[in-house]
Amino acid sequence: MPITETEALVQIAIRGIQEKKGKGIISLNLTGIKNAICDYFIICNANSRPQIEAIVNNVEKELRETAGVKPWFIEGRENAQWVLMDYIDVVIHIFTDDARAYYDLENLWADAGMKKYSSE
């Protein structure tokens, strides 16, 4: 079965996170949830502010160069505790370890189909 354009964006973003050693990488498929704000969430965490910035920059570069897409907006770069990258159908969340544990998006969206990825 061929993948959709949105699924391709998810794969490109995951690769961008893996290249910068993001941890705990998952995707949540929200397509089966009524009134969900997007089709997919991607969630990961990082050890430090510089690593979060590197992940954000790499994901943005990979999606722009590979898929020709730019984010609708990126929020949270200033404090780099939780950076949200909004690509309309795909929203990427990059957390510090503490912020990820505190906000616990995986449990908040527990009805979504979850897929885990290696942190190469």
- 81 phi/psi in degrees, rounded to 5: -95, -35
**Domain 5-105, CATH:** 3.30.460.10
d(CA 35, CA 85): 20
Residues 12-71 pLDDT 10s: 999 999 999 999 999 999 999 988 899 999 999 999 999 999 999 999 999 999 999 999
- The pTM score is 0.94
Spatial distance between the Cα atoms of 103 and 112, rounded to a whole number of angstroms: 16
What are 76-85's pLDDT values in tens digits? 998 889 999 9
Domain extent listing, the chain:
5-105
